[in-house]
Amino acid sequence: MKVIDLRSDTVTKPTEEMRAAMASADVGDDVYGEDPTINLLEKESAERTGHEEALFVTSGTQGNAVAILTHCARGDGAILGSDSHIYIYEGGGLSALGGILPLIADDGEGVVSPDDVNSWCRPANVHFAPARLLCVENTHNRAGGVAVSPGSYRATVDAARSKGLKVHLDGARIFNASTAWDVDVKEYTGIVDSVQFCLSKGLGAPVGSMLCGSSEFISEARHWRKRLGGGLRQAGVLAAAGLIALNKMTGRLAEDHRNAAELSSALISGGLAVEKVSKPTNMVYVQIGPEGPDAAELGRRCAARGVLFGAVSERRFRLVTHFGVTAEDVGVSAKVILEEMKAS
């Protein structure tokens, strides 16, 4: 039985080209700055995002943590969306590691509004933790995988800058956003102080993320990466896959978006309540009514037939298309889900 894994785009496996490149990678000690493949990946990542330099990190969570710790001191405030990955899914790292206070704002539509940014930029007062940083997420996972429009995004970034804040972009899937809006990724990455993007997920590399910013920022970030145990040695074996992810796999994301749209249409035609988002990407969120199995039970039934996905809450689940999920797989998945929803 073929297994169709729609749990996340994190389950992608490296391509044969990546595996070959990893096996033959030219390597050195990256902590000494002597790994030529790492150095090339960092150079190309900085150029691609419109920044001076870049740093290879082990994961998106590590990249976000390093960025926040570089931008903020203990006792500072960082404005975060209440549904953001940094706030919900990163273990409270900014508080546990940096003593940084989350200043929570509504990001239910995918981005914190300029008004909410302004409301957290309060006058200097001994009672308040000063806001130093705004973190934005694009695409936004919990908002349905929505690609925030360049206009809305820029308005929020401009509001933060007008108040003297630094801005960090959690761009784990930023190439999905630029693909959805058909714009150069620099429309998003080039107007912030730092950006983290994942080489894994939809880009298919086995490990790693990139953190990009100014030369001064990356110099300090490198120190924080070391403090967090992220200094690697002959990591060019990983960077070799990352170069292919950056230069080739970014160009195929539209296929994942089309497959997600087909999956969404099939489920809607079958009577399921698929959540609407203003600019969808590779995620499909579905609400289950009061009748029939809950999300966990539906997941177990479908898994027994080779279709895997994750329950988000008792009656909500998420499906994610990615490299390795074909148009045919999408049709099979929709059929299985609809049949199991109707089964007694």
The answer to whether residues 260 and 236 belong to one domain is: no
77 forms beta bridges with 101, 131
**Which candidate, 108, 151, 113, 152, places its Cα nearest to that of 275?**
108
Query: What residue has token string 């809305």?
Result: 152
The answer to whether residues 309 and 176 belong to one domain is: no
The answer to whether residues 177 and 29 belong to one domain is: yes
Mean pLDDT to the nearest integer, 229-243: 95
The answer to whether residues 149 and 201 belong to one domain is: yes
Last residue of a domain, one of 203, 219, 250: 250
**Which candidate, 340, 20, 18, 74, places its Cα nearest to that of 207?**
18
The answer to whether residues 262 and 126 belong to one domain is: no
The answer to whether residues 217 and 311 belong to one domain is: no
User: Residue 206: which CATH number?
Assistant: 3.40.640.10
**Is it the case that residue 290 has pLDDT exceeding 60?**
yes
How much is the pTM?
A: 0.96
The answer to whether residues 137 and 17 belong to one domain is: yes
Number of domains in the chain: 2
The answer to whether residues 164 and 44 belong to one domain is: yes
The pair of three-digit structure tokens given for residue 172, joined into one six-digit string: 């784990």
The answer to whether residues 159 and 282 belong to one domain is: no
Q: Are strands 283-287 and 316-320 parallel, antiparallel or unpaired?
A: antiparallel
**Which candidate, 263, 172, 153, 166, places its Cα nearest to that of 214?**
166
Residue 302: exposure state from Cβ atoms within 10 A (0-12, 13-18, ≥19):
buried
The answer to whether residues 216 and 317 belong to one domain is: no
Q: Structural domain of residue 24, as residue ranges?
A: 13-250
Share of residues in the chain with pLDDT > 90 (%):
97
| d(C-alpha 190, C-alpha 202), whole Å | 21
What is the residue-wise DSSP string for 280-336? Answer: --SEEEEE--SSS--HHHHHHHHHTTTEE-EEEETTEEEEE--TT--HHHHHHHHHH
Last residue of a domain, one of 222, 250, 278: 250
Report pLDDT for 149: 98
Report pLDDT for 343: 83
The answer to whether residues 243 and 284 belong to one domain is: no
**Cβ–Cβ < 8 Å for 189, 212:** yes
Q: First and final CA of the chain: distance in angstroms?
A: 23
pLDDT in tens, 129-174: 999 999 999 999 999 999 999 999 999 999 999 999 999 999 999 9
**Is it the case that residue 337 has pLDDT exceeding 60?**
yes
* Average pLDDT value over all residues in the chain: 96
**Is it the case that residue 188 has pLDDT exceeding 80?**
yes
**Which candidate, 19, 5, 1, places its Cα nearest to that of 326?**
5
The answer to whether residues 183 and 145 belong to one domain is: yes
Last residue of a domain, one of 191, 220, 250: 250
Mean pLDDT to the nearest integer, 240-244: 98
Sequence-separated (6 or more) residues with CB below 8 Å from residue 50: 186, 189, 190
User: Residue 290: which CATH number?
Assistant: 3.90.1150.10
Per-residue CA distances from 6 to 3, 127, 266, 285, 310 (Å): 9, 47, 15, 12, 8
In the structure, what pLDDT confidence band is assigned to residue 291 with cuts at 50, 70 and 90? confident
**Is it the case that residue 344 has pLDDT exceeding 70?**
no
